Amino acid sequence: MKVKIFDESHEADLEEDINNFIKEEGPDIIDIKYSISNSIYSEEQLYCFSALIIYKEEK
């Protein structure tokens, strides 16, 4: 079993990263954990979109 972590500041980038990983690696996915966090820096609101993919590595 292996894990892959993705972290992006925009949800579309996260989606693209995950889709590329699935297309290129073809993993046997067991589960995907998704998380969003936000914070404020000065007057700017920052977002973090992340996902943890748990998968079986193809042999």
- The per-residue pLDDT for range 7-52, each reduced to its tens digit, is 999 999 999 999 999 999 999 999 999 999 999 988 899 999 999 9
Cα distance between the two ends of the chain: 11
- pTM higher than 0.85 for the full model? no
Q: Which domain holds residue 13?
A: 2-56
The pLDDT of residue 21: 96
The pLDDT of residue 36: 96
- Whether the per-residue pLDDT at 5 is higher than 90: the answer is yes
The pLDDT of residue 59: 62
Token pair 């000065």: residue: 42
CATH code, domain with 50: 3.30.1660
Cβ-count burial of 49 within 10 angstroms (0-12 exposed, 13-18 middle, 19+ buried)?
Answer: buried
Please state the domain count of the chain.
1
